[in-house]
């Protein structure tokens, strides 16, 4: 059977068994069968593999002919069609490397350090929120993991919102800018109609079943995106790419003043400060001339001093400001929270007391520790080392945001700088009030503090940063 198979393959290659091929011009050639060795059948199979590329039309015709010939002689078809495997090209990539190709394609254009830093902050926050509420829940006979599960749920929803926002294109961003701004204003108006007062601020809408919404958190993002579209569209109409005109700046100030005024009336001093910082970042990102920026900063400082001197602040705001200037003035009243937070931070030392081992945290001596004073949990149970890790993650997050701003066009740059200023100022304010460097304002620590509204708005912001980077890479 082997001899018949060798003869059959020889006929298919156009050569009689034992024939010696000759080169051109009748020059004697070499006996290829001798060169291949005594196992002519296997060598002819390899020669056939070199002559006919597997999968080609000629190869299929030859296979069909071999099938018919084998059927006539009673030879199993699998014997005829079996060929030795071709040698792999050492320069060819390993097949398993292609498994990661779809993942690389899906993440192409995305800033992974930005995502990882935000995710790390969220997971650290889950541990800190759990530690801050576990003791209180146990003493109340409730589920000690309840706040942990809710925080992880909020983080998951924020991740979904981030992915959705990262797919926004330039056209959709132009449409979303005005829509987000108007929607944020409607949310702030709804607070005055159906809102509830919590911790002195009439800034919440209670939905029931334990769910609450704070529209001022979404107003931060709406203001940033709305101003970005405003500056970009007006520059496109003029056909200029330089600094915004004075009329553009004045219009932007009106757009800024409306939500800030509504938040001041709630009153929510912390959100007002963050809105101002985000607006300042937008003006800088838009390339507003320095005299406008310096003038606005000076005007804001003057208005703040007048508001304090004239007693325009709400009673709880004035008490917080007084306790900041004089921590021992009312140690059991307005200064109680900050004094207890200082004790918790002092307990931690370099490396902390360990998870669930902080006396201030386990005893529930720090009010609102899962939100406003979550940084004190990190200081007590993880020490200076844990606090440094959190600050470093915020530094990475803001750095990647500025990198995205540098590579983006006008609209993307404005959005990125505004979001970075929002995150940076809010993180500085929260950490500062835990350390006694700034007055207590009730601002949550981004991604770390417990709260759904803030987490959802921040997830959307990270998604928009990714959209800006993806569009910048695609247009490069």
Looking at the structure, do residues 249 and 295 belong to the same domain, yes or no? Answer: yes
Looking at the structure, do residues 262 and 306 belong to the same domain, yes or no? Answer: yes
Q: Residue 104 falls within a domain, yes or no?
A: no
Nearest to 279 by CA among 447, 456, 162, 415: 415
Looking at the structure, do residues 161 and 310 belong to the same domain, yes or no? Answer: yes
Q: Residue 103 falls within a domain, yes or no?
A: no
Q: Residue 53 falls within a domain, yes or no?
A: yes
Query: What is the C-alpha end-to-end distance of the chain, expressed in Å?
Result: 64
Token readout for 475 is: 């247009």
Looking at the structure, do residues 254 and 170 belong to the same domain, yes or no? Answer: yes
Looking at the structure, do residues 441 and 355 belong to the same domain, yes or no? Answer: yes
Give the ranges where 52-111 is alpha helix by DSSP (H): 57-73, 77-81, 101-107
Cis peptide before 267 (omega within 30 of 0): yes
Looking at the structure, do residues 83 and 130 belong to the same domain, yes or no? Answer: no
Looking at the structure, do residues 165 and 211 belong to the same domain, yes or no? Answer: yes
Number of other CB atoms surrounding residue 297 within 10 Å: 12
Quick one: CA dihedral 428, 434, 435, 438, positive or negative? positive
Written as tens digits, the pLDDT of the chain (476 aa) is 445 544 554 454 444 444 444 444 444 444 444 444 444 444 434 444 444 444 444 555 555 655 555 555 554 444 444 445 455 455 444 444 444 545 556 666 789 999 999 999 999 999 999 999 999 999 988 999 999 999 999 999 999 999 999 998 888 888 888 999 999 999 999 998 888 887 767 788 888 777 788 999 999 999 999 999 999 988 888 877 778 888 889 999 999 999 998 988 887 888 888 998 899 989 988 888 888 888 888 888 887 777 777 666 777 777 777 788 877 777 777 788 888 999 999 999 999 999 998 999 988 898 888 999 999 999 999 999 999 999 999 999 999 999 999 998 888 999 999 999 999 999 999 999 999 898 888 889 999 999 999 999 999 999 999 999 998 888 76
Q: Residue 19 falls within a domain, yes or no?
A: no
Q: Residue 105 falls within a domain, yes or no?
A: no
Q: Residue 395 falls within a domain, yes or no?
A: yes
Looking at the structure, do residues 299 and 386 belong to the same domain, yes or no? Answer: yes
Contact 320, 440 (CB under 8 A): yes
Looking at the structure, do residues 324 and 207 belong to the same domain, yes or no? Answer: yes
Q: Residue 255 falls within a domain, yes or no?
A: yes
Looking at the structure, do residues 122 and 33 belong to the same domain, yes or no? Answer: no
137 is in which domain, residue-wise?
Answer: 111-475
Q: Count up the domains in the chain and report the number.
A: 2
Radius of gyration of the chain (CA): 35
């Amino acid at each position: 059977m082997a001899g018949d198979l060798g003869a059959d393959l020889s006929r298919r290659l156009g050569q009689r068994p034992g024939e010696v091929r000759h080169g051109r011009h009748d020059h004697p050639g070499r006996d290829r069968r001798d060169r291949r060795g005594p196992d002519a059948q296997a060598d002819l199979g390899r020669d056939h593999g070199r002559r006919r590329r597997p999968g080609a039309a000629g190869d299929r015709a030859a296979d069909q002919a071999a099938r018919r010939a084998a059927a006539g002689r009673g030879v199993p078809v699998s014997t005829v069609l079996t060929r030795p495997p071709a040698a792999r090209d050492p320069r060819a990539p390993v097949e398993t490397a292609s498994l990661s190709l779809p993942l690389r394609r899906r993440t192409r254009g995305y800033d992974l350090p930005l995502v990882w830093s935000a995710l790390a902050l969220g997971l650290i926050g889950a541990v800190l929120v759990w530690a801050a509420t576990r003791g209180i829940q146990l003493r109340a006979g409730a589920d000690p993991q309840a706040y942990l599960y809710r925080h992880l749920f909020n983080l998951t929803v924020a991740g979904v919102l981030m992915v959705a926002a990262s797919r926004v294109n330039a056209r959709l961003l132009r449409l979303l800018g005005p829509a987000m701004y108007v929607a944020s204003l409607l949310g702030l108006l709804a607070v005055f109609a159906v809102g509830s007062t919590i911790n002195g601020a009439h800034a919440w809408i209670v939905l029931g079943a334990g769910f609450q919404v704070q529209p001022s958190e979404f107003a931060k993002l709406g203001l940033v995106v709305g101003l970005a579209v405003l500056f970009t569209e007006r520059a496109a109409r003029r056909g200029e790419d330089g600094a915004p005109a004075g009329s553009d700046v004045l219009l932007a100030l009106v757009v800024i003043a409306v939500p800030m005024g509504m938040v001041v009336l709630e009153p929510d001093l912390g959100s007002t400060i963050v809105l101002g910082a985000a607006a300042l970042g937008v003006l800088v990102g838009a390339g507003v001339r320095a005299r406008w920026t310096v003038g606005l900063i000076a005007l804001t400082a003057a208005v703040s001093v007048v508001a304090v001197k004239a007693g325009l602040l709400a009673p709880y705001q004035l008490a917080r400001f007084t306790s900041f200037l004089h921590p021992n003035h009312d140690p059991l009243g307005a200064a109680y929270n900050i004094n207890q937070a200082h004790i918790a931070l002092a307990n931690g030392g370099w490396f902390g007391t360990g998870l669930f081992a902080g006396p201030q945290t386990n005893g529930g001596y720090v009010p609102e520790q899962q939100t406003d004073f979550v940084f004190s949990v990190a200081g007590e149970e993880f020490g200076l080392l844990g606090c440094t890790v959190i600050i470093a993650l915020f530094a990475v997050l803001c750095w990647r945001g500025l990198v995205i701003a540098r590579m983006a066009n006008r609209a993307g740059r404005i959005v990125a700088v505004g979001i970075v200023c929002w995150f940076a100022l809010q993180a500085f304010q929260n950490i500062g009030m835990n350390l006694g460097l700034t007055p207590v304002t009730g601002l949550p620590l981004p991604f770390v503090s417990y709260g759904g509204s803030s987490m959802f708005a921040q997830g959307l912001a990270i998604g928009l940063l990714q959209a800006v980077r993806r569009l910048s890479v695609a247009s490069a």
